[in-house]
Chains A and B, each alone.
Chain A
Amino acid sequence: MIRLVSLLGAGLGLGPVSALAAGPDIGAVQQQATNWPAIFMFLFFVLFTLGITYRAAKGSKSAADFYAAGGGISARTNALAIAGDYMSAASFLGISGLVYSSGFDGLIYSTGFLVGWPIVLFLIAERLRNLGKFTFADVASFRLDQTSIRIISATGTLVVVAFYLIAQMVGAGKLIQLLFGLPYLYAVVIVGALMIIYVAFGGMKATTWVQVIKACLLLGGATFMAGAVLYKYGFSPEKLFATAVQTHPKGDAIMAPGGLVSNPIDSLSLGVGLMFGTAGLPHILMRFFTVSDAQAARKSVFYATGLIGYFYILTFIIGFGGIALLMSDPSYFKLGTDGTTYDKIKDMIGGTNMVAVNLANAVGGPYFLGFISAVAFATILAVVAGLTLAGASAISHDLYAQVFARGRTTEQAEVNLSKASAVGIGIVAIYLGYVFENQNVAFMVGLAFSVAASCNFPVLAMSILWRGTTTWGALIGGLVGLVAAVVMVVLSDAVWVKTFGHPVALFPYANPALFSMPLAFLTIWAVSKIDRTRRGDRERAAFDAQFVRSETGIGASGAHAH
């Protein structure tokens, strides 16, 4: 079970952390020699993106500029940004490492991550764009009570952002120790400070372009690596697989499903969490408001699905390339006491999360190694910036403007508060990243996905798709989903046994989504059904107006480009 959790973490954006935290050499992350080519390339990336932030800040005046990049992002650009949010450091390092150590099992994550996208496209994307302005709470509260629905949506958003962000900060610190040879705290402070600058000054425009540039660099680098691997085997995957099977200690077993999903219920629950968590991640949902209309939203998902699918095929080739090219080369391993023997999986320098990085050295030399290291750092930076913006928007646009000020505020005050929130979130994230350095945070990204699938997604889907949904239904159902997901994870092996030290887990599965998500849907349905308040009747009647707009876009917030 713990293996599933830690691997879930690996897949979901947490590879370095989970492997290091759950692996045998916990705390043994050795700071490597300072890697100057990587640092220079990263500095170049930082300067370039700061330049973009400066330009974005000059052009960003209104709330629409800040939250939604003025609605002026094209479908292709948005697709790259969405793909960038998905191609986290851990998708790249974690999944290629997973393929390296277990072969086929890596595909379970790749497919799980991808298949949420068609669902988003068929049911959510266009309607979301037609109904919303800046946050998904705009959509969920369209015909329901502003105060209640924004409180539950913002809570769901902030819980997802908090857990995701902690995991990313700790991951960044550990990764930078390995890649750049910088101390943990430096890395956490650098990541925190840069994300504050991107978000507070450049808003969505800068956050989007940082993500787009990183996506291009990562896709380019991964394409080169996969191409170099295939080139060595005459562009014959069959030859690559044959060499890998001969080299890998597990032999032919790497071509078949292994121990990752020994428990069928857990594998289904994992699938549900991966698939529907995607449709409830606030930083991804926000991206649909940056394009001009529903057509552009639709096209962005199509391109993004292609890019993400292509990327996961690359990571699979990279993982197999690692097996074929690295496993027989002792220079990538910590040698045993006799100076010649090593475990081909456990003894890899930096752990199996470093497979892609070591392979970069093997196929492209030290400068390409520096490039891939810099891209990995840039990846974390771009992802945390998106998360920070989503969190800041929930605080300013949902909680402050609608709940506390009850709509009586100015656009300027709201944007200023959002910028202040970004600074606040950044400081808290640095602090938490520091506090959690030596904690097992592997379960946190899994928890973030489960909450997204069990609170955000049901509230959003039911308010858009079902006429009968009322405020009471959505509020109580969202709350039940949120609490159920958190409680089940707390009672599971990862937290109850591993963190609190109790002897037996009270919840037998690693992933709660299979139970908590249907529970949320069921509660929304049941409570809405028994809701006999007059407000409930008004809300059901208001569905028609919402329905017309969600299906046609007539009256939708248009492009805000100036």
Chain B
Amino acid sequence: MSTMQTGGPSVTSDARTLHGGGALDMPEPDHRLDRIAEHPTFKTLVHERTRFGWILTGLMLVVYFGFIGLIAFDKALLATKVGGTASLGFYMGMFVIVFAFVLTGIYVARANTRYDRLSADLIRSLAK
């Protein structure tokens, strides 16, 4: 670790730009990068995770801005009573909070199993 700490800041900006900081921090030459980038497991991992991340991001945006949109444009709907005193808006607000937490939970559960396994597979096959 100490080599990296002293090595990082002392590298001049041009060298870093030319080769990419990542390449410099790694002792391996550039063809190893190509090997990873072209590796089928890497492609699967990146494709799946990126797609999943954007889908969940989209869901969060729709739910939150849907809630804000209703507050902005249809206050009467949110004032509707559900059961006793509590309004529909109150339940929707609570839903947004719980939804945000559940969504992060879904992502973490999938990342801990599927994506971490793909990463481990990738690193194992690169070590061969």
Which residues in A have some Cβ–Cβ distance to B below 8 Å? 62-64, 104, 107-108, 110-112, 114-115, 117-119, 121-123, 126, 131, 133, 141-147, 237-238, 241-242, 245, 252, 255-257, 261, 263-264, 267-268, 271, 275, 295, 298-299, 301-302, 305-306, 309, 312-313, 401-402, 406-409, 411, 414, 535, 538-539, 542, 544-549, 551-558, 560
- Bound together, the chains give a CA A256 to CA B108 distance in angstroms of 34
Q: Is the CB of B100 within 8 A of A305?
A: yes
Find the residue from B9, B18, B23, B105 having the highest chain A CB count within 10 A.
B9
On whether the beta carbons of B85 and A402 are closer than 8 Å, the reply is no
Interface of A is mostly: helix
Contact assessment for A261 and B72 in the assembled complex, using a CB-CB cutoff below 8 Å: yes
Nearest-Cβ distance from residue B122 to partner chain A, whole angstroms: 7
Q: Which residues of B contact A560 (CB under 8 A)?
A: 1, 5
Chain B facing A: main interface SS: helix
A555 to B1 alpha-carbon distance, docked (Å):
11
**Interface set of B (CB-CB < 8 Å, partner A):** 1, 4-6, 8-13, 16-23, 25-26, 30, 33-34, 36-37, 42, 45-46, 49, 53-54, 56-57, 60-61, 64-65, 67-69, 71-73, 75, 78-79, 81, 83-87, 89-90, 93-94, 96-98, 100-101, 103-105, 107-108, 111-112, 116, 119, 122-123
B59 to chain A, nearest CB (A): 9
Q: Do A114 and B97 contact each other (CB < 8 Å), given the known contacts A298-B111, A551-B46?
A: yes
Whether B9 pairs with A401 at a CB distance below 8 angstroms is yes
Contact partner of A545 among B20, B112, B122, CB < 8 A? B20
Q: Are A302 and B108 interface neighbours, CB within 8 A?
A: yes
Q: Considering the complex, give the chain B residue whose CB is closest to the CB of A561.
A: B1
Please indicate the chain B residues that have their CB under 8 angstroms from the CB of A407 in the complex: 9-13
Shortest B39–chain A CB gap in Å is 10
A118 touches B37 (CB 8 A): no
* Complex contacts, B103 vs chain A, CB 8 Å: 118
Give which listed residue, B65, B89, B97, B101, contacts A256 with CB less than 8 A: B89
Task: Please name the residue on chain B nearest to A265 by beta carbon.
Answer: B72
Structural contact, B57 and A546, CB atoms closer than 8 A: no
Given contacts A238-B84, A295-B116, 19 further A-B contacts (CB under 8 A): A108-B71, A114-B97, A115-B100, A118-B107, A119-B61, A121-B104, A123-B53, A123-B54, A146-B17, A255-B89, A298-B111, A302-B104, A305-B104, A309-B101, A313-B94, A406-B13, A545-B21, A546-B22, A548-B22
